[in-house]
Amino acid sequence: MFDHIIVGGGTAACVLANRLTANGRLRVLLLEAGGKPRNPWIRIPAGFTKLLVNPTYNWRFETKPEENVLGRSIAIPRGRGLGGSSLINGMIYVQGQREDYDQWSALGATGWSADTLLPYFIKLETYAFAQGMRGTDGPMHIDQVRERYPIAGAMIEAANEAGFPYNPDYNGTEQDGFGYYQVTQKEGQRWSTYDGYLKPALARPNLEVTTGAMVVKLVFEGKRCVGVTYLRDGHLTTVSAAQSVILAAGAVQSPQLLEASGVGDPMRLKELGIDVVHANSQVGENYTDHFATRMNWRVRGASTLNETTRGWQLVRSVIQYALTRRGALRLGTGLVNGFVRSQPSMTTPDVQYFFMHASYANAAVRALDTKPGMTVGVTGLRPSSRGSIHIESADVRQPPAIRPNFLATTEDQQCLINGMKIVRDIMGQHAIKRYIDFEMSPGIAIERDDEWLHFARDNGQTIYHPIGTCRMGSDENAVVDPELRVCGVAGLRVVDASVFPAMVSGNTQAAVMAVAERASDLILADDHR
């Protein structure tokens, strides 16, 4: 018998496992379907390109084909293994805007305002350039991108020429402007939540971690969750929780497991032969994700990753990284950032940019061009389009149906169109023009809004930030309450990005860690009552 059972071993789960076992009194079991992070590419930042197509570390989900993206299926990477998506992501660290969390509170997630969450952001991080309200002794090491390339500096200068300021810390008081990304790295290596949170806790006698264990069902007695059943090595095992089961399986698999266990839309569950434990039609709804286009330019007069990561130059880059932890292999998905307002009426930035001196022949699998190139990814920060994730089988080994409904609203369409136009304007500035041979995509022939939108529909991809499918709130349609307890049942919580009531303005890992930090305090407070 355990006090708490954590389902999943990803970003939030690692935080929970550490914090809940620190007092030595609570007995905690963590169940993870994947394994330990043993692949050598995990520690090398540039190795994410290898891991995104590796089924050992990526569940490799895909969306259902949708008309909004011209009938395409789009990859939805989700981390597999201890550390979850923090093992395979681009390592970009963005806390978001104060307004994001104040909106959560306004939407009914009471107790989740910016002022409440700020101490948790400070608690979780050790930031190498800390000034002001930043952490200096947390478990997660945050660094600034250390590599400096003339073309990257030219991008920041060109943005300034176009009217956008330099911002040395977008996680400080203001997000607006351009600068270098902050990343979850320590001494030039990836620093995952496994490194920061779980690994230091593994020796504790009150923490048990079982890998290769896929939870297939939540066990209920009436309306109380009392344990889980998991599959390992072909055998089913049921374990009990005296206090709670905590779903931390992520925005795809947490709603999937709820539905497969009888919590969801009764009509959907009955069609699949699943007994209804609690009726809630909102489980799996409110799916939100960041959708991004990638604009590309052929480069002249500068070296890019397209050349330095192949042939003899790759050998040189490998040697450089091995000896100094510097160079091309230290880079993730972003070098230069930009946060801008797509229209003067915006009170805060609503577009995020990702600049890299690289271009992709196939972005989905991170296959680089053979000739010099650079890319600017463009994403709308706060999409209003909503989709869903729902099971098509009672067997959780079968992937759920993911329907993001990207670009469904006029607001999302115009935000992305305006964001791409701003990039083209920046690329026309003196500082960067000397590096540009020509615009590869969408190409200068694209000028009308309908042409920009078609390009987005045809070429856009998710940047892997699904949230909202177990929405937190105080209303009757909420899936979890502000204490992260699943509404309508006892002994069950959800702690991951699925509980976000709305999207945050940036990459989601930082917000997930802050949510898990506060969730740990809420759970421990219950333990003392």
- Phi, psi dihedrals of residue 448, rounded to the nearest 5°: -80, 155
- Phi, psi dihedrals of residue 110, rounded to the nearest 5°: -60, 140
Q: DSSP for 433-472?
A: HTTEEEEEES-TT--SHHHHHHHHHHH-EE-S--B-TT-B
Place of tokens 């079991």: 29
* H or E, element range at 118: helix 114-124
Residue 391 to residue 259: CA distance in whole angstroms: 7
Structural contact between residues 7 and 249, judged by C-beta atoms closer than 8 angstroms: yes
Beta bridge partners of 494: 247
Signed CA dihedral, 83, 85, 91, 96: sign only? negative
Residue 328 to residue 319: CA distance in whole angstroms: 11
Structural contact between residues 70 and 459, judged by C-beta atoms closer than 8 angstroms: no
> In terms of Cα–Cα distance, which of 248, 282, 190 is closest to 476?
282
Residues in the chain: 529
Q: Is 343 left (phi over 0), alpha (psi -120 to 50) or beta?
A: beta
Half-sphere exposure of 328 (CA within 13 A, CB side): 19
- Phi, psi dihedrals of residue 479, rounded to the nearest 5°: -90, -40
Rg (CA), the chain: 22
Strands (E), 255-335: 263-264, 278-279, 291-299
Q: At 197, is the secondary structure helix, strand, or coil?
A: helix
Residue 59 to residue 408: CA distance in whole angstroms: 26
Residue 98 to residue 296: CA distance in whole angstroms: 32
Neighbours of 58 (CB within 10 A): 21
- Which of 235, 357, 465, 528 is catalytic? The answer is 465
465 given a catalytic annotation? yes
Residue 432 to residue 428: CA distance in whole angstroms: 7
* Token pair listed for 83: 């550390």
* Token pair listed for 264: 């969801």
Residue 364: DSSP 8-state: G
* Token pair listed for 491: 């002994």
Any idea which residues carry the catalytic annotation? 465
